Amino acid sequence: MQKVRLKWVKNRGLDHIIARTTSIRASCLLLDHLARLPSSSPVPARSLARLQKPLGLTVPVLRFLRRHPTLFAEIPHPRFPTLPSFSLTPASHLLLGRLARASALDSHLRLARLLLLTRSKSLPLASVLPLRFDLGLPYNFAAAFPVAHPDLFAVSNNHISLSTTSRLPENILISSLQRRHAEAIDGATYRALSRPPSSSSAPLAFPMRFPRGYGGMKKVKAWMEEFHRLPYISPYDDASGIDPESDIYEKRNIGLLHELLGLMVHKMVRRNAIRLLREELGLPHKFTRLFTRYPGVFYLSLKCKTTTVVLREGYERGKLVEQHPLAAVRDKVFYVMRTGVLYRGKGLSKLVLDEDGDEEGVMDGDEEFDGEGMDKDADVECFGIEIVGNEENTDDEDNEQDMD
């Protein structure tokens, strides 16, 4: 298959979503960490400084804590009054309860699907921990899941594995693309059914949202038709008999990454987290070129001093197309954070918190999440394309270095 190499295009809307999700991630992980510590005394900020890199923050932890007084209350230390110390606010305790309830809905199924994507149905805990926020797992999932689901999960030698699949739903091995195909067939119109199977708008085709200026190019359309003409292999099927250098195996990898990103609550994941899963997922050593080669499916961002991969179809006009209940609660976390940024210490007085889960104040939540600074997923800095045949290793190495 002749491949089309598209230049990287910056998407300001998705970059803004990544920056917002990074702040939510840091807040949620800090809330979990502080909630597990003894509440008898406040936590000194210097003891949290070592968490800056794991949290993915680009600012010091102390500055981040002081920026959000509605979540983290700064109080004097009982022994050292000049030592900056923090504790959780009443709003934080309320949000922690809502986050725990939303996470308990289907987090074990998300982890089970992730394990089913691997070759051995098992993963090291060190490879799953970086995905805890993305999958919506509780902090103690390694101990809680084997107890709550003893016939499903097992932990040994710092590995978590699936014991059996008989306890899982019947459609657990059906990919999201196949489910969409079934729904499209059931509710398809005559015009949709009359399209050829190779059409980019056919039911089983990958949804393509090319950067502005690319989707209408004849060369891109020809490549897209040829790509969709290849057979689709479910990421849950055994692919050991397929030539790793073939185009079919590359499409299988695209389907696997598509399913992996679809498992994430926010339809995005950091590239370094995927690298920890590379061998078990059967991905090539230089898998980043899959994201840059198919920008209609994925968006690769360099925001927040890291490389993040986003599933393009997961967002429409700055919002999740299918919002998980956990993502809705995390939006509330961002609303409380934003209130603290705008009103500082007076932010708590601007919030009205009830037990049903609705916050009311001077800001409207819908207005807050429409995408501040976004231009409806606008793409900028569009460049040209070039048709390539067999790519050399040097091209892939340059591509990896450019995205680092």
Closest CA to 135 of 171, 105, 179, 176: 105
Distance, in Å, from the CA atom of 73 to the CA atom of 70, rounded to the nearest integer, reads: 7
Question: For the domain that residue 84 is a member of, what is the CATH number?
Answer: 1.10.10
* Structural domain of 109: 104-170
What is the pLDDT, as a whole number, of residue 224?
82
Q: For residue 57, is it within any domain? A: yes
Proportion of the chain above pLDDT 90, given as a percent: 53
Helix (H) or strand (E) segment spanning residue 301: strand 298-301
Residues 204 and 222 reside in one and the same domain: yes
Lowest mean pLDDT among 23-37, 93-107, 181-195, 254-268: 181-195
Tokens standing for 290? 């899959």
pLDDT reported for residue 213: 66
Two tokens at 213?
Answer: 């200026």
What Rg do the C-alpha atoms of the chain give, in angstroms?
A: 23
Q: Let me know if residue 403 belongs to a domain.
A: no
* 196 & 312 share domain: yes
pLDDT at 34: 93
Write the single-letter amino acid at 83. L
**Conformational region of residue 154, where left means phi above 0, alpha means psi within -120 to 50, and beta covers everything else:** beta
Q: Are residues 191 and 278 in the same domain?
A: yes
Inside any domain, residue 391: no
**Do 178 and 287 fall into the same domain?**
yes
Q: Are 208 and 200 in contact (CB under 8 A)?
A: yes
Q: Same domain, yes or no, for 189 and 161?
A: no
Q: Give yes or no for residue 49 having a pLDDT over 80.
A: yes
